[in-house]
């Protein structure tokens, strides 16, 4: 198998995972069985596809093979027990070509969305909802999810295990999460958790740096696809419009965020002529439509901040005053030390490094393990000429860097301090 084939197969398996696992769960109503069947189908794909060529529809192939694998597993487990009728598992008229496209007829446009709503059921705590969906739907590792939540890997493993156990109770008609499609009211209530999960998927791809960013970019595209599907289900929901707009506006800058060597390019230094114009136009149009509903929410506010950056032809044209006001609004809607940290950047542009540092310093206890806190603090201290303190912050930031690109960016600051000294 060539490296190009291996890369294509890996990317294809990653992209097909949500749809395949969702379809297998619909057939067998067993989360562990669906996951195991998908993994076995992937192993068979790694053997078959390099020899026979890729199938016309990889997702359908994986569902078809996984379905047969799961049926064999059920037969082995049952041993001498008579199997339930075939229709208990699936519709016998399904064929491989339509398996990946078939909708379940319960107001969902996609099996993936049905799986999302199961993972984000209100019977599960919010942290378990999002963690389970990231693990099952997107296939992220426990380590990756733990980083997104700023918790230990062991704690995240426990969350995922507990959530899966609760889901599994539904198999035997217990008090667990039901597999049936929820009604319109329940779907609306669950929408917030699903939206949060989708944005976490996007951020997992968006936060990838340097040589890993291309490999994780499909996560951004998958999150945008899921958001568009949600928007088709909830066409009058302004926060889903805002979420979709936010991701489009951020993803429009993807090609300019790192140089050819994988080094970070800051927003002010990016080539704005290379930003994706159609994607920006779509995002701004969605945001404008959301605002007309007069029901503001956190995603709309964040999208408005991204839109101000996107509309600025040059860094000097950026309306930092409006961005400061929007972050102040976001602090009220969704209090978070990370939001205050982001607001400090706008404050530094408006009122200088000293005012921004005054906002940043009280966040130290809550953000002591956060790379960007120490990076921004070091940059502000450097602007103020407090080189010793700046060096300490930068060294702490390097220790917390999650990628070579982040560490290299901080080392450039340290090199600058050495040259000045």
Residue of 197, 196, 192, 278 lying closest to 237 (CA atoms)? 192
Neighbours of 278 (CB within 10 A): 9
Strand partners, 258: 264
Confidence of residue 102 (pLDDT cuts 50, 70, 90): very low
Q: What's the pLDDT at 376? A: 96
- Give the least confident one: 280-289, 353-362, 393-402: 393-402
Q: What's the pLDDT at 99? A: 42
Exposed/middle/buried for residue 149 (C-beta within 10 Å: 0-12, 13-18, 19+) = middle
Q: Could you tell me the sign of the dihedral formed by the alpha carbons of 87, 93, 96, 99, in that order?
A: negative
Exposed/middle/buried for residue 175 (C-beta within 10 Å: 0-12, 13-18, 19+) = exposed
Per residue in 360-374, is it b (16+ CB within 10 Å) or e — as a string?
beebeeebeebbebb
Structural domain count of the chain = 1
> Can you give the residue range of the structural domain that contains 5?
1-85
Q: Please check whether residue 1 lies inside any domain of the structure.
A: yes
The residue whose two tokens read 């599994």 is 168
What token pair was written down for 212? 């890993």
Q: What's the pLDDT at 32? A: 83
38-58 mean pLDDT: 89
Q: Please check whether residue 65 lies inside any domain of the structure.
A: yes
Q: Please check whether residue 342 lies inside any domain of the structure.
A: no
Instruction: Inform me whether the pLDDT recorded for 216 exceeds 80.
Output: no
Q: Please check whether residue 306 lies inside any domain of the structure.
A: no
Q: Please check whether residue 192 lies inside any domain of the structure.
A: no
Residue of 274, 278, 383, 398 lying closest to 265 (CA atoms)? 274
Q: What is the CATH number of the domain that holds 53?
A: 1.10.1740
Q: Please check whether residue 175 lies inside any domain of the structure.
A: no
Render pLDDT for 164-215 as a digit per residue (tens, 0 to 9).
888 777 555 555 566 665 666 767 777 888 898 889 888 877 876 554 555 5
- CA pair distance 311, 317, nearest whole angstrom: 9
Q: What's the pLDDT at 221? A: 86
Instruction: Inform me whether the pLDDT recorded for 360 exceeds 80.
Output: yes
Q: What's the pLDDT at 177? A: 60
Question: What φ, ψ does residue 292 adopt, rounded to 5°?
Answer: -65, -15
Comparing 192 with 330, the larger pLDDT belongs to 330
Question: pTM, whole model, 2 decimals?
Answer: 0.73
50-59 mean pLDDT: 86
Q: What's the pLDDT at 331? A: 96
Q: Please check whether residue 340 lies inside any domain of the structure.
A: no
Average pLDDT, the chain: 84
Q: Please check whether residue 344 lies inside any domain of the structure.
A: no
């Amino acid at each position: 198998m060539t490296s190009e084939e291996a890369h294509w197969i890996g990317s294809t398996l990653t992209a097909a995972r949500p749809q395949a696992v969702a379809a297998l769960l619909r057939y067998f109503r067993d989360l562990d069985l669906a996951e195991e069947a998908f993994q076995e189908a992937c192993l068979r794909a790694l053997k078959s596809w390099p020899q026979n060529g890729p199938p016309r529809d990889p997702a359908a192939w994986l569902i078809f093979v996984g379905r047969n694998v799961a049926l064999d597993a059920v037969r082995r487990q049952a041993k001498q027990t008579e199997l339930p009728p075939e229709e208990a598992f699936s519709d016998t008229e399904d064929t491989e070509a339509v398996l990946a496209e078939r909708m379940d007829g319960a107001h969902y446009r996609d099996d993936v969305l049905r799986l999302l709503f199961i993972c984000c059921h209100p019977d599960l705590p919010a942290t378990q909802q999002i963690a389970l969906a990231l693990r099952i739907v997107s296939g992220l590792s426990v380590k990756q999810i733990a980083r997104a939540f700023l918790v230990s890997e062991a704690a995240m493993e426990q969350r995922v295990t507990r959530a899966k156990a609760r889901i599994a109770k539904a198999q035997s008609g217990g008090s667990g999460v039901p597999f049936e499609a929820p009604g319109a009211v329940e779907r609306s209530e669950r929408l917030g958790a699903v939206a949060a999960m989708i944005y976490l998927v996007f951020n997992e791809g968006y936060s990838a740096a340097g040589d890993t960013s291309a490999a994780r970019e499909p996560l951004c595209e998958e999150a945008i696809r899921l958001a568009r599907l949600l928007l088709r289900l909830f066409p009058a929901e302004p926060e889903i419009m805002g979420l979709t707009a936010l991701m489009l506006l951020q993803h429009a800058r993807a090609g300019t965020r790192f140089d050819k060597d994988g080094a970070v390019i800051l927003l002010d230094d990016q080539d704005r002529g290379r930003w994706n114009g159609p994607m920006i136009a779509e995002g701004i149009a969605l945001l404008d439509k959301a605002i007309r509903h007069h029901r503001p929410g956190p995603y709309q506010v964040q999208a408005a901040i991204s839109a101000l950056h996107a509309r600025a032809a040059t860094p000097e044209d950026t309306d930092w005053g409006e961005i400061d006001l929007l972050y102040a609004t976001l602090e009220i809607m969704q209090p978070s030390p990370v939001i205050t940290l982001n607001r400090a950047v706008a404050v530094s542009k408006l009122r200088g490094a000293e005012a921004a540092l005054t906002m940043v310093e009280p966040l130290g206890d809550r953000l002591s393990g956060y790379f960007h806190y120490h990076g921004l603090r070091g940059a502000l201290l450097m602007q103020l000429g407090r080189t010793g303190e700046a060096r300490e912050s930068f060294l702490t930031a390097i220790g917390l860097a999650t990628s070579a690109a982040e560490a290299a960016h901080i080392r450039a600051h340290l090199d600058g301090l050495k040259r000045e000294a």
